[in-house]
Amino acid sequence: MNAILRGVASATLALALALAGPAAAQTPPNVLVVGQIAEPASLDPHVSTAANDFRIHVNIYDGLVRNKPGTLEIEPALATDWTISEDGLTYTFSLREGVTFHDGSPFDAETVKFNFDRMLDETHPFYETGPFPLSFNFASVEDVTVVDEMTVEFTLNEPFAPFMSNLASPTGLVVSPAAVEEFGEDYGRHPSGTGPFKFEEWESNARVVVSRNDAYWNGAPSLEAIVFRPITDANTRVAEMLSGGIDVLVETPPDNVATFRQDANFTVHEAVGPHVWYAMLNVKEGPFADKRVRQAVNYAVNKESLVDDVLQGTAEVSAGPIPPAFNWAHNDEVEPYPYDPERARELLAEAGAEGAELTFYVTEGGSGMLDPVPMGTAIQADLAAVGLEVDIETYEWNTFLAEVNPGLEGKADMAEMAWMTSDPDTLPYLTLRTEAWPENGGFNSSYYSNPQVDELLNSARTSTDPDERAELYKEVQAIVHEDAPWLFVANWKQNAVTTANVEGFQLQPDFSLVLRNVSKN
């Protein structure tokens, strides 16, 4: 691997020279260089919450199950098959034999139990290596039992419809217990999984390097290595793509999509996925404690202009927390708030909020954030047009999350946010329930609370009838739209650009970056 790392270092130096002059950089042969939107926060999939991190995780780790490429359909991974009891409370998995972690330790039922107990059992000896913010996904798991060496059983405390899709999510990826035991709280810097690529190096703010796992149970990948480079500035990512310094550009700025599409040296990939871009509003205190003010900002912002002009048609206007990609659960009768500045002024006057001063947290860039600085500036201008004074505070992505996730109380009135999910349950359950307030470990940084929504969400995730689930989610969307705890903005059509010599690349509906089938000629 030393030769590969030397090649990567040489490529990085060549890229720096290319940006300083007319010479074109070249990425190393059979090494895929990915331009990431930010530095990862952790390489522990149980700790992370950002798609930026997950794009690395899915190449190092496997879960019991995974999504079939290009779909949200479940297929076997570390589990070869499974059975579900008639009452929906017991899931029994037969595990794949002969699999080892990258550190050489064996994969078996005990390792599966370790992973889930670590996240869910506060008495587990490695529970303190968390926190595990998305363990909400498995809150219904009452017990994980080792039936025998290669059989594991999950017992739920109630039927839980999203259980299999959550197992296929990055939070369901399986880490090496031996590595966790060795590195403890530093495990996120020393990851070990069973996936197609093995961790080699993490140089902060420069690169994460993974190499081919020749012993991968699903067949060794073609690529010799992948380099994930954090390039936070979108224009710099584009410049490096054009100069030959990276092979894959994710979350391409809308202004540049057409340029790449017209150039035979590049391939533009686009796909519709379950994405929601919004601005959370501080419902607990300040002007947004009044529903009329929250509705007013939804009328005040010209979302059609944001989608057409800022995002260049790469998104659609959003109407609520459940994106149209979940067509079976999406409420088509709930229309987006129309652009109506006059109605916004009327509501502000009724609420006595004319001229209110607002603090708006904006990020420089992050997972699915869609040109956050220009979007934030445009939103600021629209709100100023109806008399609201908005002060923008801009943060780097990981700093932004550290400010926003603990809640907006005492800090800000509104903050940008985006989520990409694989089940209609995930986003509203983690961000709109009363029990998901930050002090309870959730992501309801708006402090929104509606007992009816709480009841509907709890019922939806325990229903085993798809039609009933769909109706419950549609009702949630109608209520949340009326309550307006967010400024509803856009649903993104995700994109990526690859160089012409990259083959087998495919965007995934869950916004992950699965590279095991990619080659580079």
What lies within 8 Å, CB to CB, of 187 at 6+ separation is: 44, 129, 175, 179, 180
**pLDDT, position 12:** 37
pLDDT of res. 258: 86
In tens, the pLDDT along 85-125 reads 999 999 999 999 999 999 999 999 999 999 999 999 999 99
All domains of the chain in start order, with CATH: 1-57+195-247+501-521 (3.40.190.10), 62-184 (3.90.76.10), 275-492 (3.10.105.10)
Find the length of the chain: 521
Percent of the chain having pLDDT more than 70? 95
Q: What is the pLDDT of residues 449-468, one digit of tens each?
A: 999 999 999 999 888 788 99
The answer on pLDDT for 14 being more than 80 is no
The DSSP string of 290-302 is SHHHHHHHHHHS-
Q: What is the pLDDT of residues 61-86, one digit of tens each?
A: 999 999 999 888 899 999 999 999 99
pLDDT in tens, 419-436: 988 789 889 999 999 999
- Report the alpha-carbon angle 294-298-299, nearest 5: 115
Cβ–Cβ < 8 Å for 226, 208: no
The whole-angstrom separation of Cα 124 and Cα 114 is 9
Residue 358 corresponds to which amino acid?
L
* Nearest alpha-carbon partner for 315 in 491, 487, 508: 491
The whole-number average pLDDT for the span 48-53 is 90
Query: Quick check: 184 and 129 in contact, CB under 8 A?
Result: yes
Residue 368 pLDDT exceeds 90? no
For 500, other C-beta atoms within 10 Å of its C-beta total 11
Q: Using CA atoms, how far apart are residues 376 and 363, in angstroms rounded to an integer?
A: 9
Residues facing residue 362 across a β-bridge: 394
Q: Does residue 210 surpass a pLDDT of 60?
A: yes
pLDDT over 50 (residue 475): yes
Buried b (16+ CB within 10 A) or exposed e, 4-19: bbebbeebbebbeebe
Higher pLDDT residue, 314 or 383? 383
Query: Given this model, what pLDDT does residue 20 score?
Result: 30
Interval 131-170: pLDDT, tens: 998 998 898 999 999 999 999 999 999 999 889 999 999 9
CA atoms 244, 227, 402, 492: torsion sign: positive
Q: How do residues 217-275 score in pLDDT, each as one tens digit?
A: 999 999 999 999 999 888 999 999 999 999 999 988 888 988 999 999 999 998 877 88
Q: How confident is residue 25, by pLDDT bands cut at 50, 70 and 90?
A: low
pLDDT, residue 254, reads 82
Mean predicted confidence (pLDDT) in 178-185: 98
Task: Give CA angle at 462 (445, 174), nearest 5°.
Answer: 70
CA distance 421 to 359: 28
Residue 423: its pLDDT value, please?
86
In the prediction, which pLDDT does 105 show? 98
Kindly tell me if the per-residue pLDDT of 18 is higher than 60.
Answer: no
Whether 322 and 477 have beta carbons less than 8 Å apart is answered as yes
With a CB cutoff of 8 Å and minimum separation 6, the contacts of 193 are 60, 61, 62, 101, 102, 173, 174, 175, 176
Scored b (16 or more CB within 10 A) or e, 386-396 reads bbbebeeeebe
Look at the block and give the residue holding tokens 């003010």: 293
DSSP letter string, 432-459: TSGGGSGGGTS--TT----HHHHHHHHH
Residue 22 pLDDT class (50, 70, 90 cuts): very low
Enter the DSSP assignment of 306: I
User: Considering only CA atoms, which of 520, 501, 506 is closest in space to residue 212?
Assistant: 520
Structure tokens at 81: 């098959």
Task: Give the pLDDT band of residue 6 (cuts 50, 70, 90).
Answer: very low
pTM of the model: 0.75
Nearest to 486 by CA among 436, 438, 448, 443: 448
